[in-house]
Structures are given as C-alpha cells and as structure tokens.
C-alpha cells in the first residue's frame, strides 16, 4: 500500500509537471504582459495537499485500527459469523458507508476435506454471509462482491485440526488490493 | 492391496521432469497370456520402438500377462506362417508377430498380425505408415487393436488425460498420453487451476482458473492455446460440464446468491438458471444421452447426489447411504455412477449401479477426489494422497486392477480422462 501511495503521489506530481510545462505554450505570446501584471497565479497560493507517510494515515493498514483486521474464522461446517467478529464486520461496514467509492471483495474459504467444487460452495456460503451482514448494516450491494476460493488458498498448509481452523475463513480485501 | 500380485512395474519416464511415472499395484484375477514378439527391424525406429510401448500398455491394463520369450532367430514377421501347436506349448493364448520397415521417403511402415492360439484362428492385422516421431502413437494404436480383439471392448491407450500439477506456488494444467508420458503444459499460473473438463471432441478444455482472484470459467483450445472466458459473472464461477453434443456448458454460479447451476451455450451466451434452491447445488454432469443432469446438493441437510431433467425440472435424490456423497460422474454407457463417499474420516471412490441401486466402495485410500471414467468405462482415474503427496490413481470398475501415476516432484490432482479420438 505504501508503494501504491508513492506511485499515486509520483503520478500526480508528473501530472502537475506536465500541466506547468504545457500552460505557457497554450497561451498566445501577446498576452504575456497582461499575465505578468497579475499576482502570482492562483496555483501558488492554494494550500498543498500533503501526503504524510510517517503517520498511520490509512486506517485500513494501521495495525491499531480494527479495519486492518481482515479475516473471520469459522467453526467446522459452520457459516455464521461468531459474536467475536461482529465488531470487525460493523467497523468495515461503517467504513464502506463512509467511503461510498470504496469496493470490497470478500473471499470465502474452506478447509481441505472433501470435494474441491463443493468446498467452493461452502466458502461462498461464508462470504455471502458476511456480505449479507454488511448490507443489513447499510452498505450498498454494489460495493461488495462475495466470492469463494474453496480449499485452494489455505492460510496454513498443514493437515491438522488447528490448520483447518485457520483455513475456514472469510478474507476482506479493498479496491487496489485484488 | 488385496489385489497386489507381488509384481510392481515402474515404468520410468524417458525424458525430463514433467513426466508422470506409472506403477501397477493390482491386476485382474484372470489375465490372458499373450506373446508380443519383438517387431523385426524395429531398431531402425530408434527410441523404445513399438513392442516395448505396446507391451507396457497391455500389461498395465491388468488384463494381460505378457509372456517372456527366449530370443528367436530369425524373428517371425507378419508374413511368417504360424505354428499354433508351438505357441500353445509355450502357454500363449494369443501371439503377435510384426515388422518395421523403412520406406524410401524416410518414413516407416509397421505391419503386424494377431493370432488366437486357443481357437487357432488369425484375428487380423494392420499396416501403418508413420514418421519416427509417431512411433509411440503407433505403438498405442497397435495395443488398442490387440486389446479390442482380445477383450471385445475398445482400448484407451491412444487417449489422453488432463490434470493439474502444483509445485510450490506454481500450478500447471497438463495433458499427457494415457500412460503419463509426453506431458505438455496447456496453462501455467501462480493461482489455482481446477476442474478441467474435456469437450466431447477432445479439442478443448473447460476449467476454472483463479488468476482473477476469484473462480472464473475458461474454455481453452488445445491446438492453438487460444482461450476465452466462458463465465465471469459477479461472484464465483465454477464446475464446468459439457453437454454430450458439445454445444452447451453447465456451470455453478453465485451471481444470484448461493451456488446454483446454470446452463449456457459453450460461447457463454443464453444463460439460464436451472436449479432453484437455498442449498449448494454444484458439480453438474450430463448423462451420456444428454437427458439428465446429475449434481451435488446439500438441500437435504448433507451433500448428496441428485439428478434432474437436463432441461430443468424436479430433482430426485440418487445417493442415500452415508452423510457425504459428492462429485457424480456417469460411466460412458450411462449405467453406472462413480462418486466420492465419506466413510468415517475417509473419502473414497464408490460406484452405484443405477438399475439395481447396488453400491460398492472401490478404493482403500482415504483422500480420494475427482473420479473420471476412461472412455471405454473400464477404469476410473482419480486423485488421492499418498505419503502426503497428491498422486493420480486408477482403479478398474470391478475394483481389481489398480495403477498409480505420480510426478517426480509436486502434487498431481484434478484428473480428467479425455474422449476417444479417431
């Protein structure tokens, strides 16, 4: 994300530069004097939009912010969001309401046992469940896409109960992260 | 293991890394004793020639016992008159004589004859013209001819299989000969690939790729590597299945919430939802006659196999024993259903006779997935896990013959046996 921010910053700087260089060319030479009589252009007096990478400015990435928590885990063969994750879901729902331009991808996952395709179905039931909670909390439907990766992207490659518990989950991703 | 005959053949792949090695771990109870004499002059072809490949094919089927013969000089050819009494005394039920000759145009000619020693009748023969590069393919054709004449069913040695190999973070969709040799990679990706399904003409594969961070169904033409998106709707797109005429695809989509089965033209047009439940409905498969659509659904509380008319209609439940029966696959004659059943914590390949509803578990492994019938219905190829690694296994429909295919490195999974190619 930091890299992305830097790229965005660099890109806008480039844009600014090209704007500066093209402006004089687009003006007729006869108007030069008139322009010189004006106070320094409005561009110079506008406050500069500051990008501060030293502060945890992005709440989605701030480890102290609940919005940086992106995974919801499930019991075996269960699809409902456990009470301990309610706060997390509510916080993300509020963030989407406050940032209507933001889009979210919820990837549901299942543990490795059983059919790969049926497990895509189980993961879908999990991600659909999270999406439904968020829409009930006032998020617009088109802000969220719920999908399933089935058993294909385990968080833990092991074959134990503990590994499976980490792999039954929904992961939340925002625009730019997928 | 009950059927292990004490003989384990390891046919190591000739060339580099991507190959699969086949191991025979069980054979039929009654195997036809067969003598395949070295084809006179086959050394000129180089490589393995014809007879080594054809013998390995026939041996691997579990239906033949290839007789070891002392070196004969001169070697008989297809033109040599046969002395049935002599071959009877060598305990052969059938014998094959053949030859390879080089032609002035640089190509080769393979000729052979098959004889039934018990009935003392010739069973015919064929002549093939081939290039050096077609030697393996020709050997498979020779084995197919012998197999069909002696068993009465078509051989599958010339068919191909598709499967997915995972090595580290890399996924490869590969195509190989049915003996695991000659693997070629159709698609390589850093995101999962699953559920390959052959078009009935064997020219295209439909599959699911997660390269877009979600499951999307693609159709991939094997000849030119061109592929198109068949289903990329909002949500998940998975479980492609071809209609028997190749014109339609059944897919599982979550675009309307949940996982439901839709039909569409193979180019992705004319989408139509055909299941409507609040359950997971997935893994659709057409019956070979195109009348039925078999699928997995947990509408009854646990995942079971159901079927419904392919044009839509009321589903009927097909599997009843146990609390987890998934991944329905119809035999080519439509009479038998192969599927995965859970026994305790084990997932195994099972078969159901659709006429008398008799079920049978075919394997003793514990993490079986993705059964796939050979096009002659004799074998069922499936994925399993052995010593922590994904391998492919094949078991005959009677449970007796068993083979295993494993890659030198990585996990092999998601097998799909291709159709007969004329």
Q: What is the pLDDT of residues A72-86, one digit of tens each?
A: 999 998 999 999 999
Residue A108's beta-bridge partner residues? A148, A170
Higher pLDDT, B116 or A1: B116
SS3 A12: helix
SS3 B384: strand
> Is B168 touching A (CB cutoff 8 A)?
no
- Percentage of the residues of chain B whose pLDDT score is greater than 70: 95
- Name the residue among B214, B234, B340 with its Cβ closest to that of A115: B340
Binary contact (B235, A107; C-beta < 8 A)? no
- Is residue B364 within 8 A of residue B322, CB to CB? The reply is no
Residue window 272-331, chain B: list those with CB within 8 Å of chain A: 280, 282-283, 296, 298, 303, 324, 326-327
| CA separation for the pair A143, A145 (Å, rounded) | 7
Q: What is the pLDDT of residues B77-108, one digit of tens each?
A: 998 999 999 999 999 999 999 999 999 999 99
- Is residue B248 within 8 A of residue B241, CB to CB? The reply is no
Average pLDDT taken over every residue of chain B: 92
- Name the residue among B258, B326, B388 with its Cβ closest to that of A118: B326
pLDDT for position A51: 67
- Is residue A2 within 8 A of residue A53, CB to CB? The reply is yes
Find the closest chain A residue to B257 by CA distance. A128
| CA separation for the pair B275, B299 (Å, rounded) | 11
Higher pLDDT, B285 or A63: B285
Binary contact (B258, A124; C-beta < 8 A)? yes
Confidence of residue B210 (pLDDT cuts 50, 70, 90): very high
Q: What is the pLDDT of residues B115-131, one digit of tens each?
A: 999 999 999 999 999 99
Higher pLDDT, A115 or B1: A115
| CA separation for the pair B394, B403 (Å, rounded) | 5
pLDDT for position B419: 98
Higher pLDDT, A29 or A147: A147
Residue B161's beta-bridge partner residues? B176, B417
Q: What is the pLDDT of residues B332-385, one digit of tens each?
A: 999 999 999 999 999 999 999 999 999 999 999 999 999 999 999 999 999 999
| CA separation for the pair A109, A170 (Å, rounded) | 6
- Name the residue among B252, B254, B326 with its Cβ closest to that of A114: B326
Say if residue A22's pLDDT is above 50.
Answer: no
Dihedral angle over CA of A118, A122, A125, A131, nearest 10: -120
Report how many Cβ contacts below 8 Å link chain A to chain B: 98
Binary contact (A149, B254; C-beta < 8 A)? no
Average pLDDT value for residue range A13-38: 44
In this structure, what DSSP letter does residue B291 have?
A: S
- With CA atoms as reference, report the closest residue to B416 among B156, B163, B61, B158: B163
Find the closest chain B residue to A109 by CA distance. B214
Q: Out of B103-107, B165-169, B407-411, pick the least confident.
A: B407-411
SS3 B146: helix
Chain A residues with CB-CB distance to B under 8 A? 105, 107, 113-118, 120-125, 128, 145-150, 152-153, 159, 173, 178
Dihedral angle over CA of B145, B148, B150, B156, nearest 10: 90
pLDDT for position A6: 43
Say if residue A173's pLDDT is above 70.
Answer: yes
Give the global pTM.
0.86
pLDDT for position A80: 95
Apex B286 CA angle, B265 and B267, nearest 5? 15
Say if residue A36's pLDDT is above 70.
Answer: no
Task: Give chain A positions within 8 Å (CB) of B305.
Answer: none
Give the minimum alpha-carbon distance from A147 to chain B in angstroms, rounded to a whole number: 5
């Amino acid at each position: 994300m930091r890299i992305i921010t830097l790229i965005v910053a660099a890109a806008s700087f480039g844009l600014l530069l090209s704007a500066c260089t093209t402006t004089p060319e687009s003006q007729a030479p006869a108007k030069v004097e008139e322009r010189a009589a004006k106070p320094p252009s409005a561009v110079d007096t506008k406050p500069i939009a500051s990008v501060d990478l030293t502060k945890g400015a992005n709440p989605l990435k701030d480890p102290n912010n609940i919005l940086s928590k992106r995974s919801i885990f499930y019991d075996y063969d269960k699809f409902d969001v456990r009470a301990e994750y309610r706060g997390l879901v509510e916080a993300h729902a509020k963030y989407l309401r406050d940032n209507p331009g933001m889009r979210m991808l919820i990837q549901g996952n299942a543990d490795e046992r059983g059919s790969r395709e049926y497990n895509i179905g189980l993961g879908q039931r999990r991600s659909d469940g999270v999406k439904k909670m968020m829409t009930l909390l006032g998020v617009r439907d088109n802000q969220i896409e719920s999908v399933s990766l089935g058993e294909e992207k385990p968080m833990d490659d092991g074959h134990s109960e503990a590994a499976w518990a980490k792999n039954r989950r929904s992961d939340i991703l925002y625009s730019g992260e997928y | 293991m009950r059927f292990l005959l004490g003989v384990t053949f390891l046919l190591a792949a000739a060339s580099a890394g991507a190959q699969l090695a086949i191991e025979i771990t069980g054979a039929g109870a009654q195997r036809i004793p067969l003598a395949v004499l070295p084809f006179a002059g086959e050394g000129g072809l180089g490589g393995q020639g014809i007879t080594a490949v054809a013998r390995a094919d026939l041996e691997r089927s579990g239906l033949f016992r290839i007789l070891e013969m002392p070196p004969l000089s001169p070697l008989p050819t297809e033109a040599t008159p046969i002395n049935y009494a002599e071959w009877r005394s060598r305990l052969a039920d059938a014998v094959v004589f053949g030859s390879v000759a080089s032609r002035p145009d640089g190509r080769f000619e393979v000729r052979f004859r098959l004889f039934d020693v018990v009935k003392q009748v010739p069973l015919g023969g064929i002549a093939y013209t081939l290039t050096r590069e077609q030697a393996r393919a020709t050997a498979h054709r020779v084995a197919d001819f012998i197999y069909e004449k002696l068993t009465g069913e078509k051989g599958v040695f010339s068919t191909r299989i598709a499967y997915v190999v995972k090595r580290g973070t890399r996924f490869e969709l590969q195509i190989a000969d049915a003996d695991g040799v000659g693997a070629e990679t159709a698609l390589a990706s850093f995101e999962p690939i699953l559920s390959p399904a052959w078009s009935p003409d064997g020219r295209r594969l439909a599959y699911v790729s997660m390269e877009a961070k979600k499951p999307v169904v693609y159709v991939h033409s094997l000849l030119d590597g061109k592929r198109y998106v068949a289903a990329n709707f909002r949500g998940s797109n998975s479980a492609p299945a071809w209609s028997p005429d190749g014109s339609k695809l059944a897919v599982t989509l979550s675009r309307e919430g949940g996982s439901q089965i839709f039909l569409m033209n193979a180019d992705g047009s004319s989408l139509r939802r055909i299941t409507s439940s609040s359950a997971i409905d997935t893994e659709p498969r057409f019956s070979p006659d195109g009348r039925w659509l078999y699928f997995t659904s947990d509408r009854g509380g646990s995942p079971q196999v159901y079927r419904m008319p392919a044009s839509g209609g009321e589903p009927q439940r097909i599997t009843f024993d146990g609390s987890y029966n998934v991944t329905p696959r119809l035999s080519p004659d439509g009479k038998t259903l192969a599927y995965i059943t859970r026994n305790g914590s084990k997932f195994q390949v099972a078969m159901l006779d659709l006429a008398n509803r008799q079920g049978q578990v075919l394997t003793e492994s514990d993490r079986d997935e993705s059964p796939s019938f050979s096009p002659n219905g004799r074998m069922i190829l499936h994925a399993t896990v052995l010593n922590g690694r994904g391998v492919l296994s094949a078991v005959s429909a009677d449970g007796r013959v068993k083979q295993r295919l494993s890659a030198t490195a990585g996990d092999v999974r998601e097998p799909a046996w291709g159709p007969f190619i004329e």
